[in-house]
Structure 1
Amino acid sequence: MSDLVLAIDVGGTKIAAGVVDGDGSLLRGAVRATPADDAEQAWAQVRSAVDEVLAGTPSVRAVGIGCAGPVDTGRGTVSPINIGGWRDFPLRARVADLVPGVPVRLAGDGVCIALGEHWRGAGRSSQHLLGMVVSTGVGGGLVLAGRPFGGRTGNAGHVGHVVVEPDGLPCTCGGRGCVETVASGPHLVRWAREHGWQAPPGADAADLAEAARSGDAVAAAAFERGGRAVGMMIAGVAAVCDLDLVVVGGGVAKAGPLLFDPVRRALDTHAGLGYLSGLRVVPAELGGEAGLIGAAALLRP
């Protein structure tokens, strides 16, 4: 029997498909842009990426899907906040029609990122970890006792919507003051501009990081504020879930110490319980491949 798994990773900006072998190596991959508002156009991009990676590939034994949430793993449907055309979209059934006769598993993309890092990345040494992304949004997923943990509906670990500012900005989730409204790339840039950062239109978190490295005090303060919010969130999640490791990836995490230093300082302040004394926060290793490798890992024994 083939040990190959078709992996699919659906996010708000890109859709990826790949073929992953039994060792967790990505053999083939394809990427498409995500249409934001049209359900069938978004599905067409999924189908196109799948067709590309399966062309000339031997049969796959299973399919793993990670998708931006919320998801409903019981029903196999997805309602991503930033793909407006998909509400209760039957993604698992649609994919099963493309690859009939094999098991199809669906999970939130954060769970898949955590599982990918646990299998092949920075989380290999941990059985109790949070994998998260700080990018245009903030997302995450949990691996507990060495197994992916999705909770009742598949949305456990959705840490971007932990509240860190009770009177903070409205969030796309419908809440207010979520860590995503403080630490995501667009919100770092927004805050910096509001506090006097002079940058051309279209400047992003990478430009903000470069300004901070060059000595811009407002840019550095934006990262200090965002990192502190992420650290506060991590302290709470780690206390609840008894974690020993947090793996952080995504575009904002590429700022390195600008983000990680204030995260760790916040942990020193807020993670005071004795059982959290060994908690580590480390950069992710798999980059954009984490979601695909983690989606394939959903089918591991």
Structure 2
Amino acid sequence: MTVLALDIGGTKFAVARVDADGTLLDRAEHPVGQAPTATLRGLVADFAGDGRTRRSLTGVGIGSAGPIDAAAGTVSPINIPRWRGYRLVAAVQRLVPGVPVTLAGDAQCMALGEWWRGGHDCGSLLAIAVSTGVGGGLVIDGRPWTGRTGNAGHIGHVIVDLDGEACVCGARGCLETIAAGPGMVRWALAQGWTLAPATGRPDARALAAAARSGAPVPLAAFQRAAGALATAILNTASVLDVRDVVIGGGVAAAGDLLLDPLRAAITARAGMPHLRDLRVSSTTLERDAGLYGAAALALLASGEPLRPTP
């Protein structure tokens, strides 16, 4: 049994063929570019264009940047303006006629991929992608929990500061305004952090480098982000009783700069007994977590039982 996995991000598309055992048979990715529909068509054609390959596919799983509408099969990735309400499922069905197509959010697929192939040894988990935005996904008792519209687990828009900064979603004080890379950099610059012109642009990577060198404002930016993440994680765990939290994304690549204060904040704030043993770890699949999750989505839709990697 072989499925096609698609990981639709704001800046790159990735595709892979994956078998039922979780073996990634082949993989490719491409920048979105100015013609996202043509990029999608070319990648799918490369992997499922000939009749023999298409006949061997039992399903297609798609993890897409959102917001999404899983029931309608549409996506509106913030960084792809041409795809507002884009009928992604229907577009892929035209490319692989007769093959079932299943859609979920990209962070939900990250969660499912980490649960299936990440070796975390858990029945349920919360996955958080901390990058230019903050996304999230949930696996509950071995199944992706996607909610009514397909957007469950979107922890980036949990409100952590009632009087906080306006968010692109229209609310105020969302986790994303504090913990996403651009929000961290904005706050650091407002606090007086400066970067020498020859050093490069003030982005999350430069902020992490400055924090590692001991600069106080960048260090405070990571601690502030960790505190906001801890609040959102504890709120989520209070409601859903998950034990494992997996952190991925570009900002999370800073490693202990983020994870150490995050774990400390969770320990300091946890009250109820079921919140005191939360396990926070980094992604083990990195860029491929979403592809594995999209493959798992297609396998589950076909009725294939999944056995997580221990």
**1:200-223 deviation per Cα after TM superposition (whole angstroms, max 9, x unaligned):** 452321221111111111111110
How much has 1:12 moved relative to structure 2?
A: 1.2
Q: How big is the shift at 1:26?
A: 2.0
In structure 2, which of residues 8, 14, 30 is the aligned counterpart of residue 10 of structure 1? 8
Contact 1:236 1:271 in 2 (8 A): no
Deviates more, 1:254-263 or 1:42-51: 42-51
How many angstroms does 1:9 deviate by? 0.9
Distance 1:120 1:137 in 2: 24
**Structure 2 length normalisation: TM-score?**
0.90
The equivalences for 1:90-169 within 5 A come to 90-123=87-120, 125-169=121-165
Superposed, 1:118-267 pairs within 5 Å as 118-123=115-120, 125-199=121-195, 200=197, 202-267=201-266
What's the counterpart of residue 287 of structure 1?
A: 286
- Say if 2:39 is the partner of 1:51: no
- The code of the aligned residue for 2:230 comes to G
1:160 positional shift: 0.6
SS at match of 1:23: coil
Task: Name stretches of at least 5 consecutive residues in structure 1 with no aligned partner.
Answer: none
| Structure-1-length-normalised TM-score | 0.93
Amino acid at match of 2:242: L
Kindly state the Cα deviation for residue 122 of structure 1 after the two structures are TM-superposed: 4.4
How far residue 111 of structure 1 moved from its aligned partner, in angstroms, is 1.0
Please report how far the alpha carbon of residue 81 of structure 1 lies from its aligned counterpart in structure 2 after TM superposition: 2.7
- How far off its partner does 1:131 sit? 1.0
- Residues 238-294 of structure 1: CA distance to partner in whole angstroms, max 9, x if unpaired? 111110100001111111111011211221233211122221110010011011110
Contact 2:48 2:96 in 1 (8 A): no
Residue of structure 2 equivalent to 1:65: 62
Deviation, structure 1 residue 135:
0.7
- Aligned equivalents of 1:116 and 1:204: distance in 2? 28
Q: 1:84 Cα deviation (Å)?
A: 2.0
Structure 1 residues 250 and 122: alpha-carbon distance in aligned structure 2, compared to 1, 3 A threshold: farther
Is the CA contact 1:239–1:271 (under 8 Å) kept in the aligned structure 2? Answer: no
**Offset at residue 55 of structure 1 (A):** 5.7
Question: Does the CA-based 8 Å contact 2:63-2:294 persist in structure 1?
Answer: yes
**Whole-Å separation in 2 of the counterparts to 1:55 and 1:74:** 27
Please give the alpha-carbon distance, in whole angstroms, between the structure 1 residues aligned to 2:202 and 2:46: 34
Answer whether contact 2:184 2:225 (CA < 8 A) is retained: yes
Deviation at 1:96, TM superposition (A): 0.6
By how many angstroms is 1:25 displaced? 2.4
C-alpha distance 266-213 of structure 1, shift in aligned 2 (>3 A): same
SS for the counterpart of 1:84 is coil
Percent identity of equivalent pairs: 53
Amino acid in structure 2 at the alignment position of 1:261: D
Q: What is the Cα deviation at residue 34 of structure 1?
A: 2.6
Does the 8 Å contact 1:142/1:156 carry over to 2? yes
* Secondary structure, aligned partner of 1:31: strand
Which residue of the partner structure matches residue 28 of structure 2? 30
Q: Partners in 2 of 1:175 and 1:11 — Cα distance?
A: 23
CA distance in 1, matches of 2:236, 2:222: 21
Question: Where does the alignment leave 5 or more consecutive residues of structure 2 unmatched?
Answer: 305-310
* Aligned residues between the structures: 294
